Chains A and B, each alone.
Chain A
Amino acid sequence: MGTGAQSLTLLALLLPFLGAIIAPVLTRFLKHNAAWILALIPLWLFIHFAGFLETVAGGNSVSGGLDWVPSLGVRFSWYLDGLSLTFALLISGIGTLIVLYSGGYLKGHVQQGRFFSFILMFMGAMQGLVISDSFLMLFVFWELTSITSFLLIGFDHDREAARRAALQALIVTGLGGLSLLAGLLVIWGATGTQDLSTLLASGDAMRESPLYLLALVLVLGGAFTKSAQFPFHFWLPNAMQAPTPVSAYLHSATMVKAGVYLLMRLNPAFGETVAWETILPVFGGTTLIVGTHLANRHTDMNLMHAYTTVASLGLLVMLTGFGAEKAIEAAVLYLIAHSMFKGALFMVAGLIDHETGVRDIRRLGGIGRAMPLTFAAGLLAALSMGGLPLFFGFLAKEEIYAALGTGTPWATVLILVAIVGNALMFAVAFMVGLKPFIGKRGETPKKAHEGPPLLWTGPLVLGVSGMIGALLSEPAHALFSSPMASAVSGTAVEVHASTVPHIGLPLLLSLMTIALGVGFYLMQERMRDGVAGSLKAIGWGPDRGFDQAMRGLLRLSFRVTKIIQNGRLDIYLTVTFAMVALTLLLPMVIFDELPSMPDMPMLLPHEWTIVAIAVIGLGAMVYAKDRLTAIVSLGIQGLAVALLFMLFGAPDLSFTQFMIETLSVVILALVMTRLRLSPTDHRPAGEKAMDVTIAGACGLAFGLLLLKVTQIPFDDTLSQFFEAHSLAIAHGRNIVNVIIVDFRGLDTLGEIAVVMIAGLAILALIRVTTPPKQPVSAREGS
């Protein structure tokens, strides 16, 4: 890869973020028409990545990057093969349409600029995620998609439901992200690689590692939460609180596929093991069945889409884990098909909502004449989703049945799962893509009419490309499906599915699916009631479980806080100083490192005098009647120590000690007056004895520690270095100060920052004059 292309790819990674910065300004001037300009960013990305198609279709990969932390071998690097390139094209391609769509959908919204900003930020994160090579970069972008998704779900932050959904998505996917991080670290530890490309080339290294299962479970924790697999699926339907463009883009076409992407990406290194081929199909299959059933319960188009998305993700996971080349091909085809038809259907749902004010399919009907283009887009997408010939979804479905039709019991179970799931999805597809447009005209708050071009361009383009892709299946396979399937399976694979039906088992199964689907469509009312009834019987779902868990967590932290942060200064001080004494004394006693008794020092008379002053100060403090006297007496002892420092050749230290002692006395005295304590100590003797013990232990501990330090041999390498270089290279004779401001300047910078932050914190504490309100207790019954 030439340097030109390299810097262009780097630009492609950065451009969405730059776009995110200018979007609000642009939107202020151009209103919703800013979409036309902002859509150029993803369009340019699309064109840029399309430029690699030829290279990648030829079986090569494109990589590049910059050193990030060279000393640790961490790179900011990317890797484009069939898998990441197809994803990159889906993200930028659908992204272009979504930006346009958002322009129309949120026309006139006060925060439209912010919305553009978030969506571009997400696009950048997602783009980075799929083309990342280094683990660290993958993880950073992975988390960034969670954060941007949080911002987008909570876009209507005035609504409680939106805030709850946003937080839920963030917590679920965020926890998954941590699990992924741990998984990546385990992989790093097990194989020594920290980028995907080397991991993929490492053959069986990961499979044979004893840490394989641990790494697998951790990585799956990330992938399953992100891709909303049962039982983590609940956040995705709730995420429909976001504006529809977000649902279409993040929560169907791209972000939720990140988990599937990760599984596909790791398939060559992790796949073909018993664990892989059991866990993935079981979770995927369960998700498929659960998702499709729940989708049929709802009548809100967005929720139906959400649950079929969950189901489709389940199907993808199931296929990825099935462990046959055909299944991988099927997964690849289905993934591409799903991104297109689900993106389109979501946008159609949003369009209908926008123009009629209704999302409930029971209240919609006969709007096809008023909205012909929307109807066309919806129908095209539904046909692809239903898997009818001439559409990309059909190719996928043929391939699914061809892959699963191996005749083994396990495959037969999965095939049944797939048939039921697909038939239910077929039913849903026509409930949302056909039913609203035909039949009797329903009553709607707004009179239905065709939306503006900004709104119908996106779904129509996606709907039509679902057909074009199938009709031109050979070039489509050569450019997208085959390279992607090769990347996922790790060996060169050619996809051949075409739209001409072949007589055989797959076709038979397809026909069965369609027949079943039509049946489900016709009895939709009864099914809805059935599912609703059984759900009522179960009663308690993961969504409620999430609330329970959050409540439990709040309650727990409230209790812990009450114990640890009980607000009583005397307990804080007792605990702190007791710990200090213990941490100093225990190791010395356990490891038998107590200092030997020093000789009696030979001091001059004036030095003895100063020692005596210190002792007198201490005595005065102990016997002082009131607190102020005690503080001042303590100051006397401090000043005497400062004098000793001076006499023994540490003028700097002594100087500082003088100032510190002076200020301590002043500040302590001020604090004491502020605390409004009684001037004398009236506590019972027991409590006093406790304090005396702790104080004595601390003093003893520090004394012993200092004695010990002076008794071990002194390493004067550093002193020699500073003596030799202080004047020579730092132009200063005062070594202490030269160390502070020059040799260890960075430390000092950190320290003064701490001084300032501590100052601010103390200031804030002093300013709290009214007693704090009751701490926020665990929220009951949210």
Chain B
Amino acid sequence: MRTLIFRTAAPYLTALMLLLSIFVLLRGHNEPGGGFIGGLIAVSAFAIHGIAFGVHQVRRTMYFHPMAISGFGLLLAVLAGLVSLPAGAPLLTGLWVSPTVGGITLDLSTVLLFDIGVYLVVVGSITSIALALEGREEP
């Protein structure tokens, strides 16, 4: 698999796909996309990187253990759900704020945080599986 063409193209592909995954994640609320799909794209990106350069390289690039990322995502999703409790709303109620930064109105919400949580869980868990399968001796 490690042909010259593939190894040359892989970093660009990975970077582009990661960028795309974040784009898909963020636009998800209004256009097709969302945390789940975004996460899957990111996993593919890491898988390509892994096939081209080996598991060790991907683990270095990710810095954190993929399962830790997944755990953080779950924590983030739970916290995003809990935010509504002090506000007097039931668990997981979406809360929105729309600050204006430099003339652009940003719609920020706990729902977005939740979606980021979903993204991280998917990225972490599935990458972790894929990497463990790819790297035989150092799972």
**CB within 8 Å of B: which residues of A?**
651-652, 655-656, 659-660, 662-663, 666-667, 670-671, 674, 730-734, 736-738, 740-742, 745-746, 748-749, 752-753, 755-756, 758-760, 762-763, 766-767, 769
Known contacts A659-B41, A749-B81, A755-B125: does B67 contact A760 (CB below 8 Å)?
A: yes
A residues near B107, Cβ cutoff 8 Å: 731
Cβ of A766 and Cβ of B115 under 8 Å apart? no
CB of B133 within 8 A of CB of A741, answer no
Bound together, the chains give a CA A383 to CA B31 distance in angstroms of 86
B33 touches A762 (CB 8 A): no
Q: How far is the CA of A496 from the CA of B44 in the complex (A)?
A: 85
| Given known A737-B33, A742-B111, A756-B121, contact A674–B136 (CB-CB < 8 A) | yes
B-side interface residues toward A, CB under 8 Å? 24, 28-37, 40-41, 43-44, 47, 51, 67, 70-71, 73-74, 77-78, 81, 91-92, 94, 96, 107, 109, 111, 114-115, 117-118, 121-122, 124-126, 128-130, 132-134, 136, 139
| B118 close to A655 (CB less than 8 A) | no
Residue pairs across A and B with Cβ atoms less than 8 A apart, 8 shown, are A659-B41, A662-B44, A670-B134, A731-B96, A746-B92, A748-B77, A756-B73, A759-B129
- Whether A746 contacts B91 by the Cβ 8 Å rule is yes
The answer to whether B40 touches A766, judged by C-beta atoms less than 8 angstroms apart, is no
Residues of B contacting A745 in the complex (Cβ-Cβ under 8 angstroms): 81, 92, 94, 111, 114
A597 to B125, CA, bound (A): 42
Closest CB of chain B to A111's CB: distance in Å?
Answer: 33
Cα A759 to Cα B40 with chains together (Å): 14
Within 8 Å CB of A671, what residues of B?
133
Q: Least Cβ distance of B65 to chain A in Å?
A: 10
CB of A224, distance to nearest CB on chain B (Å): 44
A766 and B132 contact, Cβ closer than 8 Å, known pairs A656-B37, A749-B92, A752-B118: yes
Complex contact B32–A763 (CB within 8 A): no
A740 to chain B, nearest CB (A): 6
Chain B residues contacting A742 (CB-CB under 8 Å) are: 92, 94, 111
A655 pairs with B33, CB closer than 8 A: yes
Q: Are A766 and B74 in contact (CB under 8 A)?
A: no
CB distance from A768 to the nearest CB of B (A): 10
A33 to B28 alpha-carbon distance, docked (Å): 63
* B29 with A732: CB separation less than 8 A: yes
A643 to B111, CA, bound (A): 29
CB atoms of B37 and A659 under 8 A apart = yes
CA distance A663 to B78 in the complex (A): 27
Residues of chain B contacted by A755 (CB below 8 angstroms):
70, 121-122, 125-126
Q: How far, in angstroms, from A651 to B27 measured CA to CA in the complex?
A: 14
- Complex CA gap A446/B81 in Å reads 64
Q: Is the CB of B32 within 8 A of A734?
A: yes
Contacts of B78 in A (CB 8 A): 749
Select from chain A the residue with minimum beta-carbon distance to B107: A731
Assess A667 versus B114: contact at CB under 8 Å? Given A656-B36, A731-B96, A749-B77.
no
Q: What is the chain A residue whose CB lies nearest that of B31?
A: A734
Give the complex CA separation of A639 and B67 in angstroms.
Answer: 29
Are B44 and A655 within 8 A (Cβ)? no
Q: In the assembled complex, which residues on chain B have CB atoms less than 8 Å from the CB atom of A753?
A: 74
A738: chain B residues at CB < 8 Å are: 29
A655–B128 CA distance with the chains assembled, in angstroms: 22
Q: A731-B109, A759-B128 are in contact. Are A663 and B35 (CB under 8 A)?
A: no
Which residues of A have CB within 8 Å of B115? Answer: 737, 741
Identity of the chain B residue whose Cβ is nearest the Cβ of A752 in the assembled complex:
B121
Bound form: Cα–Cα A752–B41 in Å: 17
Contacts of B92 in A (CB 8 A): 742, 745-746, 749
Query: Hey, which chain A residues are within 8 Å of B43, CB to CB?
Result: 659, 663
Q: What CA separation (Å) do A244 and B125 show in the bound complex?
A: 50
| A766 contacts across to B, CB distance below 8 A | 129, 132-133, 139
A732–B30 contact, CB under 8 A? yes
Q: How far is the CB of A220 from chain B (nearest CB, A)?
A: 43
